[in-house]
Amino acid sequence: MTHPIDARLAELGLTLPDSPAPAANYVPYVQVGNLIFVSGQISMDANGMIKGVLGDNMSVEDGAAAARLCGLSLLAQVKAACGGDFSRFKRAVKLTGFVNSTKEFGDQPKVVNGCSDLLVEVLGEAGRHSRSAVSAGALPFGVAVEIEGIFEIE
């Protein structure tokens, strides 16, 4: 039987990417008790990394779309942490979003909304979370957005 989260993703026409492998000396997630701490997921799609600087060569809308893709990668890591299905998933707890932006740019929350909105769209009330959205003068590989998350499982 299909889990409701998988069904909702299909209904929205969304596919989770393969769980990205770490790019350095760290693990993609760590479980402590009933919490899953997911390492930062960078903005990427099937064509590769989504690079750019908000306030310079990238619009808020493009940044939010990049953040949405980070959200799909976060969900892919959570699913992997749950053994390949969402049966143990309980809720999103906290996101920290990093936006590659100029010092004058102040719409980081609008960019990270791309991820937050996705989680609520897919998970309903279980997707509501606390959050920080901060500016970064640069991000790894020049990507536009990186988001890490904490999730509760049973």
Do 115 and 95 form a contact (C-beta atoms < 8 A)? yes
Q: What is the pTM of this model?
A: 0.96
Flag whether pLDDT at 105 surpasses 80: yes
Domain 29-153: which CATH class? alpha beta
Report pLDDT digits (tens) over 49-88.
999 999 999 999 999 999 999 999 999 999 999 999 999 9
Report pLDDT digits (tens) over 112-141.
999 999 999 999 999 999 999 999 999 999
Flag whether pLDDT at 9 surpasses 70: yes
Confidence of residue 1 (pLDDT cuts 50, 70, 90): low
Report pLDDT digits (tens) over 92-104.
999 999 999 999 9
Domain residue spans of the chain = 29-153
Flag whether pLDDT at 4 surpasses 90: yes
Backbone angles phi, psi at 52, to 5 degrees: 155, 170
Distance, CA of 88 to CA of 64 (rounded, Å): 28
Flag whether pLDDT at 23 surpasses 70: yes
Distances (CA, A) of 113 to 31, 38, 82, 86, 96: 25, 18, 25, 23, 11
Which amino acid is located at 84 in the chain?
G
